[in-house]
Amino acid sequence: MSSSVQFQPETLIESLITARDRYGDKEILEDQDRKPLTYTGLIRALFVLGRKLAALTEEKERVGILLPSSAGVVVTFFGLHAFGRTPVMLNFTAGERNVKAACEAAGVTRVLTARRFIQQAKLEDLVAAMESQVEMVWLDDIRATIGLGDKLFGLLAGLMPRRFAAPAEPSDPGVILFTSGSFGAPKGVMLTQANLVANARQVAAHIALDKDWVFFNPLPTFHCFGLTGGVILPLLEGLKAFEYPSPLHAKQIMALLPEVKASVLMTTDTFLNQYARVAGPDDFASLAFVVAGAEKVKDETRHLFNTRFGGVTLLEGYGVTEASPVAAVNHPDRNRPGSVGQLLPGVEGRIEPVEGIDRGGRLFVRGPNIMAGYLSADDPGQIEPLVGGWHDTGDIVELDDERYVEILGRAKRFAKIGGEMVSLAAVEGLASAVWPENRHAVVSLPDARKGERLVLVTDNSGAELGRLGEWARAHGAPELAVPRKIVKVSELPVLGTGKTDYVAIQQMVETQAQAA
CA–CA distances in Å: residue 501 to residues 93, 146, 226, 246, 460? 12, 42, 18, 18, 18
| CB-based contacts of 441, cutoff 8 Å, min separation 6 | 428, 456, 457, 458, 492, 500, 502, 505
Residue 142 confidence (pLDDT): 97
| CB-based contacts of 276, cutoff 8 Å, min separation 6 | 301, 304, 305, 308, 309
Residue 183 confidence (pLDDT): 47
Q: Which residues are 291's β-sheet partners?
A: 266, 315
Residue 482 confidence (pLDDT): 82
Please state the pTM of the whole predicted model. Answer: 0.85
Question: What does the alpha-carbon distance between residue 41 and residue 30 come to, in Å, rounded to a whole number?
Answer: 11
Residue 400 confidence (pLDDT): 92
Residue 184 confidence (pLDDT): 53
- Structural domains of the chain ordered from first start: 12-406 (3.40.50.12780), 418-515 (3.30.300.30)
Q: Which residues are 331's β-sheet partners?
A: 334
Residue 299 confidence (pLDDT): 82
Count the Cβ atoms, other than its own, within 10 Å of residue 324: 33
Residue 68 confidence (pLDDT): 96
Helix axes 193-206, 12-23, angle to 10 degrees: 40
As a whole number of Å, the CA-based R_g of the chain is 23
How many whole angstroms from its chain centre is CA 402?
26
| CB-based contacts of 344, cutoff 8 Å, min separation 6 | 3, 199, 202, 203, 205, 206, 326, 327, 328, 329, 367, 369
Query: Contact at 8 Å (CB) between 313 and 332?
Result: yes
Residue 508 confidence (pLDDT): 85
- pLDDT per residue, tens digit, the chain (516 aa), is 656 678 899 999 999 999 999 999 999 999 999 999 999 999 999 999 999 999 999 999 999 999 999 999 999 999 999 999 999 999 998 888 889 999 999 999 999 999 999 999 999 999 999 999 999 999 999 999 999 999 999 999 999 999 999 999 999 999 999 986 544 556 899 999 999 999 999 999 999 999 999 999 999 999 999 999 999 999 999 999 999 999 999 999 999 999 999 999 999 888 888 898 898 888 899 999 999 988 888 888 888 887 888 778 899 999 999 999 999 999 999 999 889 999 999 999 999 988 777 788 899 999 999 999 999 988 888 999 999 999 999 888 999 999 999 988 776 666 766 556 677 777 877 888 889 888 898 888 877 666 678 889 998 888 888 888 888 777 766 677 788 888 889 888 887 666 788 778 878 888 887 776
DSSP state of 232: I
Residue 416 confidence (pLDDT): 61
Identity of the amino acid at 160: M
Run of H or E including 366: strand 357-366
Residue 185 confidence (pLDDT): 59
Residue 140 confidence (pLDDT): 95
Query: Contact at 8 Å (CB) between 233 and 81?
Result: no
